[in-house]
Structure 1
Amino acid sequence: MHSYRELFRVPGLRLTYVIGLVARLPMPARALALTVYTAVGLSQGYGPAGLVVGLFTLGSALGAFLWGTLNDRYGLRLAMTVTSICETVFWLLVPQMTFPVLAATALFGGMTASVGGSCFRIALGVLVPVDQRRAAFSLEATMTELCALVGPPAWMLVNTSTSTPTALYGLALLTLLGSGGFALLINPPLGERSTVSAAGWLDRRLLSLLLANSAAIVVIIGVEVGTFGMLNEAGQARWAGVVIAAQAAFSGIGGLVYGTLRRGFPLPLLVGISAVAALPVGLAGHSPLALSLAVAPMYLCCAPALAATAHALNEVAPVSALGRVMAMMQVSNMAGAGAGAILVGFAMDAVTPAFGPVAVGLGGLLLLGISRLLLVSRRTAVTV
């Protein structure tokens, strides 16, 4: 734990982590909140709810680039002020919306959604010395797992204990506190404001890192969905929460341990281990205990892979383009999550739920291979 004790001696970092935790907490609950309000609150069913969530997610991807550009040109404070106000207003208005209005505004709501994760990583990349960034990003990745585990159940608990509008107002409050906290209290100096085009920093090396990151997310999401499918097939769906908690715990442990290492592992190695470790998960059967143990090797590499991605992107990206680069990481996360969910879904329907982890493991290896080919092509071009 010496690495983390030294890390928290960096001025202003304790406050940054606290605000980062508050900003991240509501983010995993967004899709659940929109689904519950549309399907149950408006009695529209899960098809229309999926449409709303899809539009919101698409808007988030588009908005990430807008936010990144705004951050690079005018600074983090202005960017977070705009997004925190806009998203807070959106969640305050959702309980008053009919389905046509919600469907029409979901894309815009996603575009204005706060990007607390990207902001958090930018702040860490600027505030933390180079030799301590592995520990910083490892702790950030572990916090991401914690928020993903706690956020949706906590929102659902408020929803069932009070009402859906109250839970949505709570989401607005957390958004204002977290994103507004970044806007008011965290404003790391980013150096000269950038007007440089993507041609100045968007190269094969950066694209390779983003593709490897998507490969990791494909495996993570795919195995999570696949294990639920295996449990559901055996009538053990009630244990899904326990298995998912075990997955998050293994990932968190891996992240914390990774942050204490003197030397990290290359991102391709971490992603490759995750993908290969996913292949035999389907052989574990339908026992919740067996499944929890079977996913351990894979999930121990998850948070380290996410930390290694953020660390590597901060190494290759100029400070003046960090906003756009972190936005691209967020989009690669979304793309990986979408691809993983689709791939595992088709594999489970076409073959069996146990084949789901195999499919995403192979898919992750394929994407990882393509990411490496980008670098090989670059070296070949330089040699020629």
Structure 2
Amino acid sequence: MNFASYGELLRVAPIRRLLLVGMIARFPHSAAGVLLTLHVVMTMDMGYAKAGAVAAVVTVGIAFGAPWRGRRVDNVGLRRALIPSVISEAVIWSIAPHASYEWLLVLALIGGVFTLPVFSVVRQSLGVMATGEQRRTAFALDSIATELVFMGGPALGAILATSLSSVVGLTLVGISTSLAGLLLIWFNPPTRSENPQKAATEVQEREAANAAVVAAAPAHLAEASSELQPLAVLSRRARLRSGFSWFTLSVAVVFAVAVGAGLLLSSSDVGIVALVESSGNPQEVGIVFAAWCAASVVGGLIYGGMRRRISPMLLLLAMAVLTLPMALATDTISLALLSIPAGLLCAPVLSSASERVADLVSEERRGEAMGWYGSALTSGTALGAPLAGAAIDIVGPWAGFAFAGVSASLLVLVTLTVRKFSRRGERLSAV
């Protein structure tokens, strides 16, 4: 363990400022999930399956929008890329709470597409400002900061929905997020290295390594890869043709982890709201989120101080298994206590996966890769929320946690099996 690395990193003013701005920008949307769920269930008097469908539509929009937003950041810079989000956040979430359920779905989709891309921007910028082993600590700090936000955001959302109005709460989310976007535009954290020559050298080294593998490969593989050239001589057309060359089997495995993590977290999120609301005290939902997120903070601190890497796939499997006991909870306090073991692994899963993407993808493609990583994460969320909501409506609140743990565990096992057979096939083709 090397906990001194946290102090060293926080003494770097731009990193410290980025983490703080990221926390502020994330806070409104940390309340949005609970607000949307309670708006559909309580204000609109509909079930958890329909509430989960709204959450799913938002995340589908984010999944479609994230790669495009990441590419815009790469191509036109952060400030110009954020302008559509600043405008749409204020407009969409001021209108959506007053709409019918059908129009709420449409507006939720549009809102998702133009969501302020805080996650990918912060992670991309940290990947530039922190290098080597510092990245693990930086990503862990970002995950910890996110958990601190989620310790307060959902509680505030529940209080706004139950004590004031979910309509007012969602409107405040839109306006606050828009203001957070303006703050990010003002701060304008770096998304590209200040030393382009160094970044280009890193990419050239990766291309040279690819060329060496192709040269040593059997004839049919070399023929299939004959268009690979060093970065210095690639034409614009060749660059477009090889636009997804960064998407390897290893990257695909990390994206599978992101899908599983999104599914696990969104299903647990709906399950927590459903169980606490069924007890007749929906305002107590903040107690469970606080315990869950506090555990994640502790887990993130421990993981960020570790010197050896742990596979994100193994971390996700452990978290899925530890989510299952949450189905045994009978009230708010027991659920809060049972959420702690799974919560301990939340930040490590996300930190480990982000670090892996940063290691596997070159800097010039990292914005797009982080966008696709975010899409994988939100796609899992889109799958988990409505399915868990349906299970809750049919069986009961405990079914949300059972669905979450079993589904994420199965995804890990299937992914590990596919990777094993893929690698075996690669070895046989190389003989």
Would you say same fold, with TM above 0.5? yes
**1:38-87 deviation per Cα after TM superposition (whole angstroms, max 9, x unaligned):** 788xx755478776655443322221122122122223332123322332
Alignment of 1:371 onto 2:373: no
* In 2: Cα distance, 1:363 partner to 1:159 partner: 30
Q: Which of 279, 300, 310 matches 1:265? A: 310
Name the counterpart of 1:276: 321
User: Which has more radius of gyration?
Assistant: 2
Deviates more, 1:146-155 or 1:302-311: 146-155
Mark the CA change 1:85 to 1:322 in structure 2 (over 3 Å): closer, same or farther.
farther
Name the counterpart of 1:319: 363
Compute the TM-score of the two structures, normalised by the length of structure 2: 0.75
Q: May I ask how many residue pairs the two structures share in their alignment?
A: 381
Alignment of 1:357 onto 2:401: yes
Mark the CA change 1:83 to 1:232 in structure 2 (over 3 Å): closer, same or farther.
closer
> 1:1-384 residue pairs with structure 2 within 5 A?
1-33=3-35, 45-46=45-46, 54-92=56-94, 104-155=106-157, 157=159, 167-168=169-170, 170-190=172-192, 196=240, 197-226=242-271, 240-282=285-327, 284-286=328-330, 288-348=332-392, 353-354=397-398, 356-383=400-427, 384=429
* In 2: Cα distance, 1:212 partner to 1:330 partner: 11
Q: SS of 1:114's equivalent?
A: coil
Q: Which amino acid aligns with 1:219?
A: L
Deviation at 1:276, TM superposition (A): 2.2
* In 2: Cα distance, 1:353 partner to 1:107 partner: 26
* In 1: Cα distance, 2:400 partner to 2:166 partner: 34
* In 2: Cα distance, 1:215 partner to 1:156 partner: 26
Deviates more, 1:45-54 or 1:241-250: 45-54
Compute the TM-score of the two structures, normalised by the length of structure 1: 0.83
* In 2: Cα distance, 1:179 partner to 1:187 partner: 12
Deviation at 1:381, TM superposition (A): 3.4
**1:252-281 deviation per Cα after TM superposition (whole angstroms, max 9, x unaligned):** 211122212222322122112112223444
* In 2: Cα distance, 1:245 partner to 1:138 partner: 18
Deviation at 1:139, TM superposition (A): 1.6
* In 2: Cα distance, 1:160 partner to 1:236 partner: 9
* In 1: Cα distance, 2:380 partner to 2:396 partner: 22
Mark the CA change 1:229 to 1:142 in structure 2 (over 3 Å): closer, same or farther.
same
Q: Which amino acid aligns with 1:147?
A: V
Retained in 2: the 8 A contact 1:138–1:304? yes
* In 2: Cα distance, 1:29 partner to 1:314 partner: 29
Q: Please, what is the CA RMSD of the aligned residues?
A: 3.5
Deviation at 1:156, TM superposition (A): 5.1
Mark the CA change 1:59 to 1:238 in structure 2 (over 3 Å): closer, same or farther.
closer
Q: Which amino acid aligns with 2:300?
A: G
Q: SS of 2:342's equivalent?
A: helix
Q: SS of 2:244's equivalent?
A: helix
Deviation at 1:25, TM superposition (A): 0.9
Q: Which amino acid aligns with 1:265?
A: I
**1:126-161 deviation per Cα after TM superposition (whole angstroms, max 9, x unaligned):** 111222111111121122223233224324545677
Gaps of 5+ in 2: 201-235
Q: SS of 1:29's equivalent?
A: helix
Deviates more, 1:158-167 or 1:370-379: 158-167
Deviation at 1:165, TM superposition (A): 6.6
Name the counterpart of 2:224: none
